[in-house]
Amino acid sequence: MRGKAQAKQKPRLKTLERVFSKAGIGSRTDARSWIGSGKVRVNGRVAQNPDQWIDLDRDRITFEGKPLCDAEKVYILLYKPKGYLTSYGDPEGRPTVYDLTKEAGTWLSPAGRLDLDTSGLLLMTNDTSFAERITNPAHEIAKTYQLKAATLLTDDQLQQLRQGVELSDGRTRLAGVTRLRDSASAKYTFLELTITEGRNRQVRRMIEALGSKVLKLVRVAIGPIRIGDLPIGKWRHLTADERAALGVDARGDRRQKTITRPIGNTSGRRRIPKPSYSG
């Protein structure tokens, strides 16, 4: 006999609505609708409470009479246009990224956000663990932006961005900063900025901390994945190599390796083509 009894394994518990979202079947809003319409059963009984606790190892869940199974994992890259929301719906009827991805054929959720006035690379997936990995700042996955500042920025100001600026919610981490060009009129500076955080409106607030303002903002990369020549408003599936670079193997399983951060230029200039936008 062992000297000590093995500790009893803690049950894996999730609310019923989260079971659906984690499985990649649909959003929590979808799950609540399905539960309310009597389409979901737990251990043979019609479920009525979306907040019911589910033991993932013991409870049996059926949806429309069939056992609930994980959906095939889907990962897409969307070139989000300016003026589109990343939320599932909007009470004001404004366009959302879901209007652009209807042909994906499954429920998807953004892995991170872009505000209404920002365009560029948006990853969408039904793999909630992958989305958490992309968005959680603890994983330090780089997000790269190109921007047009409302003023001409000095080299000293760019160095401030590299070393971190003080915001209302704390000092920013070290950033990669490259001056792309200054306008011919010497009124505007175009930058490429790489950060490993995801605070609300962070890039805009960083530029405002210098006494300037962002006029145009485009996210061009997440980690090693760049938006390339994808037309604005269009989407495509991530390639196997791109999924692997973000820590997902060919079967859709998450790897445990740390993703390398392409911080980019941290001290000086480099020659680079002009940004994809004009102005």
Which residue matches tokens 């820590």? 247
Whether residue 91 contacts residue 119, with contact meaning beta carbons closer than 8 Å, is answered with no
Type of residue found at 178: T
Task: Check 90, 115, 117, 249 and give the catalytic one.
Answer: 115
* CA terminus-to-terminus distance, the chain: 77
Question: What's the half-sphere exposure (Cβ side, CA atoms, 13 Å) at 50?
Answer: 16
| Burial (0-12, 13-18, 19+ Cβ within 10 Å), 102 | exposed
Question: Count of CB atoms within 10 A of residue 146's CB?
Answer: 22
Helices assigned H by DSSP within the chain: 16-23, 28-36, 128-135, 155-163, 202-208, 240-245
For 199-229, letters b (16+ CB in 10 Å) and e give eeebbbbbbebbebebbbbbbbbbbbbebee
3-state SS assignment for residue 129 = helix
Active-site residue flag, 229: no
Cα torsion angle, 256, 128, 116, 225, sign: positive
Partnered with residue 226 across adjacent β-strands are 221
Which are the catalytic amino acids? 115
